[in-house]
Structure 1
Protein backbone atom coordinates (compact mmCIF):
# COMPACT_ATOMS: atom_id res chain seq x y z
CA UNK A 1 0.00 0.00 0.00
CA UNK A 2 1.34 3.37 -0.98
CA UNK A 3 0.83 6.39 1.35
CA UNK A 4 1.51 9.79 -0.16
CA UNK A 5 4.41 11.69 1.41
CA UNK A 6 2.24 14.77 1.95
CA UNK A 7 -0.18 12.74 4.07
CA UNK A 8 2.66 11.41 6.23
CA UNK A 9 4.00 14.95 6.70
CA UNK A 10 0.55 16.13 7.80
CA UNK A 11 0.32 13.33 10.33
CA UNK A 12 3.73 14.23 11.72
CA UNK A 13 2.65 17.86 12.00
CA UNK A 14 -0.49 16.87 13.90
CA UNK A 15 1.50 14.67 16.27
CA UNK A 16 4.05 17.45 16.81
CA UNK A 17 1.26 19.92 17.56
CA UNK A 18 -0.31 17.50 20.07
CA UNK A 19 3.04 17.03 21.78
CA UNK A 20 3.53 20.80 21.94
CA UNK A 21 0.09 21.22 23.55
CA UNK A 22 0.49 18.47 26.15
CA UNK A 23 3.11 20.35 28.21
CA UNK A 24 0.91 23.37 29.04
CA UNK A 25 -2.19 21.19 29.44
CA UNK A 26 -0.42 18.87 31.88
CA UNK A 27 0.88 21.85 33.89
CA UNK A 28 -2.64 23.36 33.96
CA UNK A 29 -4.19 20.07 35.16
CA UNK A 30 -1.52 19.73 37.85
CA UNK A 31 -2.18 23.30 39.08
CA UNK A 32 -5.89 22.57 39.39
CA UNK A 33 -5.20 19.30 41.23
CA UNK A 34 -2.79 21.09 43.60
CA UNK A 35 -5.41 23.75 44.38
CA UNK A 36 -8.05 21.12 45.09
CA UNK A 37 -5.65 19.15 47.27
CA UNK A 38 -4.72 22.30 49.22
CA UNK A 39 -8.41 23.12 49.74
CA UNK A 40 -9.08 19.63 51.10
CA UNK A 41 -5.98 19.60 53.32
CA UNK A 42 -5.41 23.05 54.84
CA UNK A 43 -2.07 23.82 56.46
CA UNK A 44 -1.87 22.50 60.01
CA UNK A 45 -2.15 25.03 62.80
CA UNK A 46 -3.92 27.63 60.71
CA UNK A 47 -7.41 27.68 62.14
CA UNK A 48 -9.74 30.50 61.14
CA UNK A 49 -9.99 33.38 63.61
CA UNK A 50 -13.74 32.83 64.03
CA UNK A 51 -13.14 29.27 65.25
CA UNK A 52 -10.42 30.40 67.67
CA UNK A 53 -12.68 33.17 69.00
CA UNK A 54 -15.49 30.66 69.56
CA UNK A 55 -13.04 28.43 71.45
CA UNK A 56 -11.95 31.39 73.61
CA UNK A 57 -15.56 32.09 74.57
CA UNK A 58 -16.41 28.40 75.13
CA UNK A 59 -13.36 27.74 77.30
CA UNK A 60 -13.87 30.98 79.26
CA UNK A 61 -17.35 29.74 80.20
CA UNK A 62 -16.01 26.29 81.05
CA UNK A 63 -13.27 27.71 83.30
CA UNK A 64 -15.73 30.02 85.04
CA UNK A 65 -18.31 27.29 85.61
CA UNK A 66 -16.14 24.44 86.90
CA UNK A 67 -18.31 22.79 89.56
CA UNK A 68 -17.15 22.83 93.14
CA UNK A 69 -15.46 19.62 94.14
CA UNK A 70 -14.27 18.77 90.64
CA UNK A 71 -10.79 17.22 90.46
CA UNK A 72 -7.77 19.53 90.29
CA UNK A 73 -6.65 17.74 87.11
CA UNK A 74 -9.82 18.94 85.37
CA UNK A 75 -9.28 22.53 86.52
CA UNK A 76 -5.66 22.52 85.37
CA UNK A 77 -6.55 20.93 82.03
CA UNK A 78 -9.22 23.55 81.35
CA UNK A 79 -6.85 26.37 82.34
CA UNK A 80 -4.13 24.95 80.09
CA UNK A 81 -6.53 24.63 77.15
CA UNK A 82 -7.77 28.18 77.75
CA UNK A 83 -4.21 29.51 77.86
CA UNK A 84 -3.35 27.66 74.63
CA UNK A 85 -6.31 29.12 72.77
CA UNK A 86 -5.54 32.62 74.10
CA UNK A 87 -1.96 32.26 72.85
CA UNK A 88 -3.25 31.06 69.47
CA UNK A 89 -5.59 34.07 69.21
CA UNK A 90 -2.75 36.40 70.17
CA UNK A 91 -0.61 34.90 67.42
CA UNK A 92 -3.33 35.32 64.81
CA UNK A 93 -3.93 38.95 65.79
CA UNK A 94 -0.23 39.68 66.36
CA UNK A 95 -0.84 40.74 69.97
CA UNK A 96 2.26 40.43 72.20
CA UNK A 97 1.86 38.00 75.08
CA UNK A 98 3.95 36.52 77.89
CA UNK A 99 1.43 33.92 79.05
CA UNK A 100 3.53 30.87 78.29
CA UNK A 101 6.59 32.28 80.08
CA UNK A 102 4.64 33.42 83.16
CA UNK A 103 4.66 30.91 86.06
CA UNK A 104 1.43 29.60 87.59
CA UNK A 105 -0.14 31.78 90.24
CA UNK A 106 -1.36 35.37 90.55
CA UNK A 107 1.14 36.65 87.98
CA UNK A 108 -0.28 34.30 85.35
CA UNK A 109 -3.83 35.34 86.22
CA UNK A 110 -2.87 38.99 85.73
CA UNK A 111 -1.17 38.20 82.40
CA UNK A 112 -4.27 36.27 81.30
CA UNK A 113 -6.47 39.30 82.09
CA UNK A 114 -4.05 41.64 80.32
CA UNK A 115 -4.05 39.39 77.26
CA UNK A 116 -7.85 39.24 77.25
CA UNK A 117 -8.01 43.05 77.32
CA UNK A 118 -5.43 43.27 74.52
CA UNK A 119 -7.39 40.78 72.40
CA UNK A 120 -10.59 42.77 72.96
CA UNK A 121 -8.70 45.91 71.99
CA UNK A 122 -7.60 44.17 68.78
CA UNK A 123 -11.25 43.49 67.92
CA UNK A 124 -11.78 39.93 69.15
CA UNK A 125 -15.11 39.30 70.86
CA UNK A 126 -13.95 37.37 73.92
CA UNK A 127 -17.16 37.68 75.90
CA UNK A 128 -20.27 36.20 74.35
Structure 2
Protein backbone atom coordinates (compact mmCIF):
# COMPACT_ATOMS: atom_id res chain seq x y z
CA UNK A 1 0.00 0.00 0.00
CA UNK A 2 2.81 2.46 0.83
CA UNK A 3 4.30 1.91 -2.65
CA UNK A 4 1.06 3.04 -4.28
CA UNK A 5 0.90 6.15 -2.08
CA UNK A 6 4.54 6.92 -2.87
CA UNK A 7 3.91 6.52 -6.63
CA UNK A 8 0.82 8.75 -6.42
CA UNK A 9 2.83 11.40 -4.54
CA UNK A 10 5.67 11.38 -7.08
CA UNK A 11 3.13 11.63 -9.92
CA UNK A 12 1.36 14.55 -8.22
CA UNK A 13 4.64 16.41 -7.64
CA UNK A 14 5.67 15.84 -11.26
CA UNK A 15 2.28 17.14 -12.45
CA UNK A 16 2.65 20.28 -10.30
CA UNK A 17 6.18 20.93 -11.59
CA UNK A 18 5.05 20.55 -15.20
CA UNK A 19 2.02 22.80 -14.60
CA UNK A 20 4.24 25.48 -13.08
CA UNK A 21 6.53 25.46 -16.12
CA UNK A 22 3.61 25.52 -18.53
CA UNK A 23 1.47 28.16 -16.82
CA UNK A 24 4.07 30.39 -15.13
CA UNK A 25 4.28 32.91 -18.03
CA UNK A 26 0.48 33.28 -18.07
CA UNK A 27 0.49 33.75 -14.30
CA UNK A 28 3.20 36.40 -14.51
CA UNK A 29 1.25 38.26 -17.19
CA UNK A 30 -1.92 38.09 -15.07
CA UNK A 31 -0.09 39.52 -12.06
CA UNK A 32 1.40 42.29 -14.23
CA UNK A 33 -2.03 43.20 -15.65
CA UNK A 34 -3.44 43.33 -12.12
CA UNK A 35 -0.54 45.57 -11.01
CA UNK A 36 -1.12 47.92 -13.96
CA UNK A 37 -4.86 48.10 -13.20
CA UNK A 38 -4.15 48.89 -9.55
CA UNK A 39 -1.55 51.51 -10.50
CA UNK A 40 1.32 49.65 -8.86
CA UNK A 41 3.18 48.98 -12.12
CA UNK A 42 3.67 51.43 -15.00
CA UNK A 43 2.14 50.12 -18.23
CA UNK A 44 4.46 49.16 -21.07
CA UNK A 45 4.64 51.70 -23.88
CA UNK A 46 2.48 50.65 -26.82
CA UNK A 47 4.29 48.72 -29.50
CA UNK A 48 3.42 49.79 -33.00
CA UNK A 49 2.54 47.02 -35.41
CA UNK A 50 5.23 46.24 -38.00
CA UNK A 51 3.24 47.92 -40.79
CA UNK A 52 3.06 51.19 -38.87
CA UNK A 53 6.76 50.97 -38.02
CA UNK A 54 7.55 50.47 -41.71
CA UNK A 55 5.37 53.46 -42.60
CA UNK A 56 7.21 55.57 -40.02
CA UNK A 57 10.58 54.60 -41.52
CA UNK A 58 9.29 55.29 -45.03
CA UNK A 59 8.00 58.73 -43.99
CA UNK A 60 11.31 59.65 -42.41
CA UNK A 61 13.25 58.43 -45.45
CA UNK A 62 11.06 60.23 -48.01
CA UNK A 63 11.00 63.36 -45.83
CA UNK A 64 14.82 63.33 -45.81
CA UNK A 65 14.82 62.84 -49.59
CA UNK A 66 12.56 65.88 -49.99
CA UNK A 67 14.74 68.00 -47.73
CA UNK A 68 17.87 66.92 -49.59
CA UNK A 69 16.64 67.64 -53.11
CA UNK A 70 19.01 69.89 -55.03
CA UNK A 71 17.47 73.12 -56.37
CA UNK A 72 18.36 71.90 -59.87
CA UNK A 73 16.43 68.66 -59.46
CA UNK A 74 14.03 68.12 -62.36
CA UNK A 75 10.43 69.06 -61.61
CA UNK A 76 9.23 65.56 -62.50
CA UNK A 77 11.52 64.02 -59.87
CA UNK A 78 10.47 66.59 -57.25
CA UNK A 79 6.76 65.95 -57.96
CA UNK A 80 7.32 62.19 -57.86
CA UNK A 81 8.99 62.32 -54.44
CA UNK A 82 6.27 64.67 -53.16
CA UNK A 83 3.53 62.37 -54.48
CA UNK A 84 5.20 59.39 -52.78
CA UNK A 85 5.36 61.39 -49.54
CA UNK A 86 1.67 62.34 -49.81
CA UNK A 87 0.69 58.71 -50.46
CA UNK A 88 2.72 57.53 -47.48
CA UNK A 89 1.19 60.25 -45.28
CA UNK A 90 -2.28 59.05 -46.31
CA UNK A 91 -1.34 55.41 -45.58
CA UNK A 92 0.00 56.42 -42.17
CA UNK A 93 -3.19 58.32 -41.34
CA UNK A 94 -5.30 55.28 -42.27
CA UNK A 95 -3.05 52.96 -40.25
CA UNK A 96 -3.32 55.20 -37.18
CA UNK A 97 -7.08 55.68 -37.58
CA UNK A 98 -6.73 59.40 -38.29
CA UNK A 99 -8.64 61.50 -40.78
CA UNK A 100 -6.50 62.38 -43.80
CA UNK A 101 -6.74 66.15 -44.44
CA UNK A 102 -4.85 65.70 -47.74
CA UNK A 103 -7.74 63.88 -49.37
CA UNK A 104 -9.36 65.95 -52.13
CA UNK A 105 -7.05 68.96 -51.64
CA UNK A 106 -5.71 70.27 -54.97
CA UNK A 107 -2.03 71.06 -55.55
CA UNK A 108 -0.89 74.46 -54.35
CA UNK A 109 -0.65 76.36 -51.10
CA UNK A 110 -3.74 74.65 -49.64
CA UNK A 111 -2.11 71.25 -50.13
CA UNK A 112 1.11 72.46 -48.48
CA UNK A 113 -0.91 73.60 -45.45
CA UNK A 114 -2.82 70.30 -45.38
CA UNK A 115 0.48 68.40 -45.60
CA UNK A 116 1.77 70.30 -42.55
CA UNK A 117 -1.47 69.50 -40.69
CA UNK A 118 -1.03 65.79 -41.45
CA UNK A 119 2.58 65.92 -40.27
CA UNK A 120 1.47 67.55 -37.00
CA UNK A 121 -1.19 64.86 -36.50
CA UNK A 122 1.43 62.15 -36.99
CA UNK A 123 3.92 63.92 -34.71
CA UNK A 124 1.21 64.13 -32.02
CA UNK A 125 0.46 60.43 -32.53
CA UNK A 126 4.17 59.67 -32.03
CA UNK A 127 4.67 58.22 -35.50
CA UNK A 128 7.24 60.72 -36.77
CA UNK A 129 9.56 63.14 -35.02
CA UNK A 130 8.89 66.86 -35.17
CA UNK A 131 10.79 68.86 -37.76
CA UNK A 132 13.80 70.70 -36.52
CA UNK A 133 14.20 74.35 -37.52
CA UNK A 134 15.78 74.76 -40.91
CA UNK A 135 14.65 71.36 -42.22
Cα pair 2:58 2:88 within 8 Å, conserved:
yes
Please list, as runs of the form range in 1=range in 2, the aligned pairs for 1:93-112 lying within 5 A after superposition: 93-112=96-115
Cα pair 2:101 2:117 within 8 Å, conserved:
no
How far residue 98 of structure 1 moved from its aligned partner, in angstroms, is 2.4
* Partner residue in 2 for 1:88: 91
Count of aligned pairs between the two proteins: 83
- The 1:58/1:105 distance shift into structure 2, 3 A limit, reads same
TM-score by length of 1: 0.60
How far residue 110 of structure 1 moved from its aligned partner, in angstroms, is 0.3
TM-score by length of 2: 0.57
Q: In 2, distance between residues paired with 1:69 and 1:109? A: 21
Please list, as runs of the form range in 1=range in 2, the aligned pairs for 1:50-89 lying within 5 A after superposition: 50-89=53-92
* Partner residue in 2 for 1:9: none
Q: In 1, distance between residues paired with 2:70 and 2:56? A: 24
Runs of 4+ deviating beyond 4 Å = none
Q: Which has the higher contact order (CA 8 A, sep 6+)?
A: 1
How far residue 115 of structure 1 moved from its aligned partner, in angstroms, is 0.4
